[in-house]
Structure 1
Amino acid sequence: MASPTHTNLMRDLLRAVQELSRQNQAPQPQNVLPQQNAPRFAPGAVSVVEQFRRYKPPTFDGNSEPLVVEEWIRGLERIFRHIACTDAQKVLCAEFMLIGTAGHWWESVSRTRTEEQQRNLTWEQFKDEVMAKYFPRALRDFKESEFQQLRQGNMSLIDYERQFEQLSRYASHLMDTEVKKIRRFENGLRPEIGMIIMSHRFTSYREMLERAHAISYQRTSFEQYAQQSKESLGKRKWSDQSKNRHNWHNKRPSTGVRIGGTSGSITPCPKCNKLHRGECLLGKNMCFRCGKPRHIALHCIEPPKKKDDDQDKNKKAKARVFALNQHEAE
């Protein structure tokens, strides 16, 4: 009998799965001969499909971002690690998970190959075709360059570690040993952390990562303490300045006015509402200038009184010259 074609094999697999489902629902009568027209398929193919479907594999529709196709392939490979299957069976299982535009694209690509080429298609060839379509080489080169230029900068150590792990899979050839991975991670750290880490010779990536987190935590705690101390010092300075201004206002005299060079202060006279010392002369018909009766200060011809001796002697009064005519002199 001629070997079944690829299309017939896929049809037989679907029929076998449906037949097994019906057999599980209804008991098989005894002493019944198998049908002569029962589908023929490769031995063990049904068990592989059953095991594959039990893991609930993800589907791919081709409408997602380029990075999703790699996650889809990685998800399928995780399942294949638990199933003993050939490359042809891996390709068949993966074809079932291509839906939507991705499914139409794969059908059009499959029509360009012969049946023999389709049967001999390996898993690596399948991945290369899917990746070339939905994750082109130019984009992968860009992600590799992004990984090489990755630096911590203003990121936290946790965010830097997450970016490092995510982008490192695009440059696995640069980290094929534990030491290379450690050195690459150290080169991207901030200088204040990287200089301390690079002074030690770590042989384990996990050990280096734990040490980096410990240093980062210590520096963060110190910076927070320094910031709190600075803010507390600023509040104390502001409080002291406010207190000094309050004390300066309290030291100022609340009442009274300081007179010239006198050492004391006086309040306005309650009788005449003017600033003066001694007895108030209001209403006594006396001159406020010379203190004599029967005239006022406006008509007083007496020279003004000299200032008190306690006036500041260091201050020199400005000299004045008065020119009097004969009438004014008399």
Structure 2
Amino acid sequence: MDLTDNEKVKCASYCLMDDARIWWEEIELSRDIMNTDEFNNFHQGNLSVTEAVKRFNQLARLCPHMVPNEQERLRRMIGMLKSEIAVIVDSGTAPPTTTAECVKCALRAEYHLNKQKESQTRQNEVPKNNNNNQNRGNFRNQGKSQGGQWNNNKRKGNFSNQRNHNNRQGGGQPAKQVRNIPPCSKCGKLHLGECRMGTNLCYGCGHEGHLFKDCPNKNYQPFQQRQQRNPLAQLHSMHAALDGPHISQG
């Protein structure tokens, strides 16, 4: 005779006697209590409708006393579904009257809710992509702005270096610097300091008694160095050498 595993267990339990029989009855009682507690607290949770209905039917077979008729079975099935699915199933114009109808309504509700969530997810992803593109655009613009500023600073630096270079070159050209000196109102020459025209002072050393061309100090090395370091003084001395014979110095 072919028997299922459950049937074999039942047949074997009838052969138990005395203490073994008492032990088996306690095992069955504790198992029934656990199944009853699980059935009372069972909810769909993260399970799909198909998975939840499968487990519900298993518990209903283990606890037949808790679902004595179709109405009680239907009530418990709707109660174990997710709240958003249970509301759709139980609040329609034609609520289900059997567990089979309840399963069909629950599957349709689950399908539409999943579609709605997918659509909402796609809509939320669009602004994120736009924000990322905007951030990349701002970064590129910032890079261009910094690059332009660097080029401007570079051009300014080149201009400043060129100007300094020109100034250094102009240091050896006293004629360019003299252009900015106004003519002397007394002698009409270009020079700085007090005009010595009409005095007996040497245009070179500033002493009396001789002209610049006869100045005994004109070959004096420190004086020549001062003349070389001061282009304006050198130019003044040149004018003095040219005009010296025409100036009375005593």
Deviations 1:19-43 (A, max 9, x none): xxxxxxxxxxxxxxxxxxxxxxxxx
Residue matched to 2:161: 274
- Measured in 2, the distance between the counterparts of 1:195 and 1:164 equals 19
Instruction: State the AA in 2 paired with 1:214.
Output: R
Residue matched to 1:244: 138
Residue matched to 2:105: 211
Instruction: State the AA in 1 paired with 2:74.
Output: I
Where in structure 2 are the equivalents of 1:60-209 lying within 5 Å? Answer: 72-73=6-7, 98=12, 106=15, 109=17, 132-133=24-25, 135-200=27-92, 201-209=95-103
- Measured in 2, the distance between the counterparts of 1:205 and 1:286 equals 110
Contact 1:286/1:292 (8 A) holds in 2: no
Residue 198 of structure 1 deviates from its aligned partner by: 1.7
- Measured in 1, the distance between the counterparts of 2:45 and 2:136 equals 41
Instruction: Name whichever structure is richer in helix by fraction.
Output: 2
Residue 134 of structure 1 deviates from its aligned partner by: 8.2
Instruction: State the AA in 2 paired with 1:213.
Output: L
**Gaps (5+ residues) in structure 2?**
179-228, 232-250
- Measured in 2, the distance between the counterparts of 1:295 and 1:146 equals 109
Change (3 A) 1:255 1:275: farther
Q: Secondary structure at the match of 1:152?
A: coil
Residue matched to 1:57: 3
Residue 237 of structure 1 deviates from its aligned partner by: 1.1
Deviations 1:51-75 (A, max 9, x none): xx3xx334x5xxxxxxxxxxx12x8
- Measured in 1, the distance between the counterparts of 2:163 and 2:68 equals 101
Change (3 A) 1:147 1:283: same
- Measured in 2, the distance between the counterparts of 1:286 and 1:214 equals 98
Residue 292 of structure 1 deviates from its aligned partner by: 4.1
Change (3 A) 1:166 1:276: farther
- Measured in 2, the distance between the counterparts of 1:184 and 1:165 equals 11
* TM-score normalised to structure 2 length: 0.57
What percent identity do the matched residue pairs reach? 16
Q: Does 1:234 align with 2:121?
A: no
Contact 1:202/1:208 (8 A) holds in 2: yes
- Measured in 1, the distance between the counterparts of 2:120 and 2:143 equals 35
- Measured in 2, the distance between the counterparts of 1:206 and 1:131 equals 39
Instruction: State the AA in 2 paired with 1:173.
Output: H
- Measured in 2, the distance between the counterparts of 1:167 and 1:228 equals 39
Change (3 A) 1:166 1:274: same
Instruction: State the AA in 2 paired with 1:175.
Output: V
- Measured in 1, the distance between the counterparts of 2:90 and 2:156 equals 79
**Gaps (5+ residues) in structure 1?**
1-52, 61-71, 77-93, 113-128, 259-264, 297-330
- Measured in 1, the distance between the counterparts of 2:71 and 2:39 equals 17
Q: Does 1:283 align with 2:169?
A: yes
Instruction: State the AA in 1 paired with 2:43.
Output: R
RMSD: 3.5
Structure number with greater Rg is 2
Query: How many residues are paired up?
Result: 173
